[in-house]
Structure 1
Amino acid sequence: MMGLQTAAQAMVAATARLRAAGVDDPARDARLLLAHAARIEASRVTLIAPEELQPEIAERYDQLVSLRAIRVPVSHLLGEREFYGRRFRVSSDVLDPRPETETLIEAALSEPFDHVLDLGVGSGCILVTLLAERTSASGLGVDLSEAACLQASANAVLHKVQGRAEIAQSNWFEDIEGQFDLIVSNPPYICVSEMEDLSPEVREHEPRMALTDEGDGLGAYRQIAASAPDYLLPGGRILVEIGPTQANLVSALFDAAGLADIRVIPDLDGRDRVVGAKMPG
């Protein structure tokens, strides 16, 4: 019978398996999954490297690496993802929070707001972050997916903003009443013909309705632009995340809807990422 592997040996073997499976950053993923299997912080993996892995940890690690090798996202295996300095619970029911969405957060926080509406709330990462950062504000997050609403509610509780966050099921503005001084959204913006080009992690493990409108990628923006003026207070703002080629098209939709002060905000990589506008008044 083989002796027990050390943590370091197990990580080397896992890295090789993940590399062979075409995983982007196999060493990083092998490390994160070992930390999860051993139930320690990732920063402490180096400390256990020379130690032999106990059989139950080794078995748990092997299962995690096997799932990662078939391209299940690390965040789903860990059950969480970091966003704007906080950890959010995630699953295959919601879009993974992405660092580029922090561009929308920065833009939202650059001016005051009291009452925010998040269309397509998903994991809740946008709404919950905005309420956690702006403790005087309240907000409503809506999503067509019941599972996403449950996930967003759990994250609101996790970050102690549940008293100021209402989560409801709605198809865009369908079941929404009232007016807001800030509307935010990260809608599905991938053109259906581009879905095949996505990584297996995204294409096979994230909710399709959060990725594409099954059309040209602008369907959500058409609905949002058409209805937003009815739900924005005078001087209220709207901020939407976009795909990097959609700035002009989304700006034109906002302009046609009578919104003013339209601007395009790039992400840290210099790609167009957010379109913002204001309700005249």
Structure 2
Amino acid sequence: MTACADPEGSVGGILCRAGQLLRAAAIDSPRLEARLLLGEAMGVDLAALLRDPRAPVPPGAATRFGAMLRRRLAHEPMGFILGRQGFWTLELEVSPDTLIPRADSEAVVEAALQGPAPVRVLDLGTGTGCLLLAVLSEHPGAFGVGVDLSPGAAALAARNAAATGLRDRCSFLAGSWAAALAGGFDLVLSNPPYIETAAIPGLMPEVAVHEPARALDGGPDGLDAYRLIVADLPRLLLPRGRAVLELGQGQGPAVAGLARAAGLVVLGTHADLGGVERALVLQQG
């Protein structure tokens, strides 16, 4: 490794050595991640962290940083190490009970916001509650229900609702999709499992090893969850109600075909920032 200019035990020295280790472990953005971890360990923001690279790091902070760095070098996701992740305009708690919210999923929110303001919103496979809470934050007159198979995920989503000031406008419950619910929703959201079972071991270890398999595995062709959700949408949606479903890359035509077979109208798709068709918009006829 290249020698670091700042003293060992200083902010700059620790960041330099940590960045080298993260780079060697094939971690993207190693310098940024080292800064985020050290800032978290020291309880300071990035501006304060970088103000004096030669400043010593207190022993307690150095110990905390070392523990977090070892976790990241083992490819544990940053979100799980920090315990939080930004999504839309919200900062959300995350845990191994759920997928970590991704910027790609904001395409679902953008697509949902392009339609009429909903009154009752349902989020199937809610995870952290990110989709539902983002939509509710933009529609102050709406009320939402989030459902997840994992009780831990439903509890986490409820904590996020409280932390974002939305607790009085939503409820979360553990269950199998919408089996326990009657209809009457203006808008249904979902980011279902859509990875083909055989493809999961080939994903980056942050996902394949650390994120919950039940939230990833979409069955042999990746469409198992879509079949269940789409078949239930005619019962769940009000007349002219809409559904916005997150898509895996290239899945748009197949999921649209399932929707048409169920009697739904396909309104179109919405791309993520990478130009990938990420959200499919459907309507009750």
TM range (shorter): over 0.9
Q: 1: CA distance between counterparts of 2:12 and 2:253? A: 50
Q: 2: CA distance between counterparts of 1:217 and 1:63? A: 36
- In structure 2, the gaps of 5 or more residues are 1-6
Pick the aligned partner of 1:195 from 193, 200, 205. 200
Q: 2: CA distance between counterparts of 1:191 and 1:91? A: 23
| Identical pairs, percent | 37
Write out the 4+ residue segments of structure 1 that deviate beyond 4 Å after TM superposition: none
Within 5 Å, give how 1:6-21 maps onto structure 2: 6-21=10-25
Shift of 1:48: 4.2
Shift of 1:85: 2.1
Within 5 Å, give how 1:1-281 maps onto structure 2: 5-111=9-115, 112-280=117-285
- In structure 1, the gaps of 5 or more residues are none
Q: 2: CA distance between counterparts of 1:72 and 1:94? A: 14
Cα deviation 1:138-157 (Å, max 9, x = unaligned): 01000000010011000000
TM-score in terms of structure 1 length: 0.96
Q: 1: CA distance between counterparts of 2:193 and 2:120? A: 23
Q: 1: CA distance between counterparts of 2:182 and 2:235? A: 10
Change in 2 beyond 3 A, CA 1:241/1:43: farther
How many aligned positions are there?
A: 278
- RMSD between superposed Cα atoms in Å: 1.2
Cα deviation 1:128-168 (Å, max 9, x = unaligned): 11111111100100000001001100000001111110101
Contact 1:251-1:262 at 8 Å conserved across structures? no
Shift of 1:49: 2.2
Aligned residue type for 1:54: P
TM-score in terms of structure 2 length: 0.95
Contact 1:142-1:167 at 8 Å conserved across structures? yes
Greater alpha carbon shift after TM alignment, 122-131 vs 209-218: 209-218
Tell me the SS of whatever aligns to 1:274: strand
Q: 2: CA distance between counterparts of 1:74 and 1:37? A: 13
